[in-house]
A and B are shown apart, each in its own frame.
Chain A
Amino acid sequence: MNDLEGALRQAVAGLPAEPPAAAGEKLAERAAADGLLDVAYAAVDSPLGPLVVAATPRGLVRVAYTEPGSRDEVLEDLAARVSPRVLEVPARFDEPRRELDEYFAGRRTEFDLPIDWSVLRGFTLKVLRATADIDFGELRSYSDVASAAGSPRAVRAAGNALGANPMPVVVPCHRVVRTGGALGGYTGGVERKEFLLRLEGTLL
């Protein structure tokens, strides 16, 4: 084969299809060491469907229920709200994955995962911090949470803050229900709320 076109075709075909598998891990390690891994994420399976779990160097920032196609939205939101330096690094999520598995298997009642609260602001932050203190198997009303957040009359605003909870399951907004005994809404749909409350024994 002596013509350039043939040599080019052969040369292009000879290039590797993919970088070596280790290249991705190496890149993530280097990014973390250089302080460039602003947001790491991984997919985690659960009985409530696939989750995306994301963390900054300070701690967890996102736990998202994902439907087909909604994963990109979650990542785009993180890029806009936290940092565009968003990388998939499954190796950094062994501990969250283990704790979530244990929780869903009924073998864990609280999470020992650091949370990065710095991306939350104002009343939402207060409400979600108060919610994080509700123990496994306990229930609170929206007005309990509003009071705990320092604004007893802001019941509706508390409901909105819970609806915007970026870390469902780990920040247990499912433990907040309506005063009359109705379940109220839930970020991932009320079926998931029912599932979690049954898991915790507060709903029969």
Chain B
Amino acid sequence: MSVRLPPFQSLLDAHRADVYRFCVAMVGAVEADDCFQETWIAALRAYPRLRQADNLRAWLFRIARNKAIDAHRARSRRPVPVEAVPETATSPSAGGAEDNEPELWARVRELPPKQRTAVFCREVLRMPYAELALLLDSSEDAARRSVHEGLKKLRKEYVR
């Protein structure tokens, strides 16, 4: 028996803003647009094959998380243009803070992918742990730990 999937537009209406915010937090404002487009195109492509319509948000953010990870990988492979070759070699970090951006997101981006996603989904979306566990493909306990570990690392940066 196939499920009754809601019209894709209703998914877009309900989650467009949160997915965009997720992309901004995870990859920075410059690349957020690409992350956003790639997420929704991948979701649209896979949508008719979904076998259940519960937890569409967790499904969607799992796709978004993967696209954000792709963006990180692409960036670390890409040569970074510089105006002049610096005398001592520096390796560009995965993501420094962009202009006008709260530096916290740059710190979040330095966390391991699971913790990064977990911190965003808990702190911004107030996602229940059960849903976060689905998203992360982990147990609820492991999801809770990811949030905890991520916040602990961030706290080190803020309580000096």
Contact = CB atoms under 8 A, between A and B. Distances in A.
Interface in B34-70: 36-37, 40-41, 44-45, 47-48
A75 B9 contact: yes
- Report the contact-size class of chain B (Cβ under 8 Å from the partner): 35 or more
- Dominant SS at the B interface? helix
A64 B134 CA distance: 38
A31 interface: yes
Given A7-B104, A10-B102, A23-B20, A15 B9 contact: no
B37 A3 contact: no
A76 B6 contact: yes
Interface string B107-134: 0100000000000000110000000000
B44 A36 contact: yes
Interface string A50-85: 000000000000000000000010011011100111
B67 to A, nearest CB: 13
B41 A26 contact: no
B124 A15 contact: yes
Nearest to A79: B7
Interface in B114-160: 123-124, 151, 154-155, 157-160
Contacts of B108: 11
A8 B41 contact: no
24 contacts: A3-B158, A4-B151, A4-B158, A7-B154, A7-B158, A10-B102, A10-B104, A11-B102, A11-B104, A12-B124, A14-B101, A15-B24, A18-B16, A18-B20, A19-B16, A19-B36, A23-B33, A26-B37, A27-B37, A31-B41, A39-B7, A76-B4, A85-B44, A87-B9
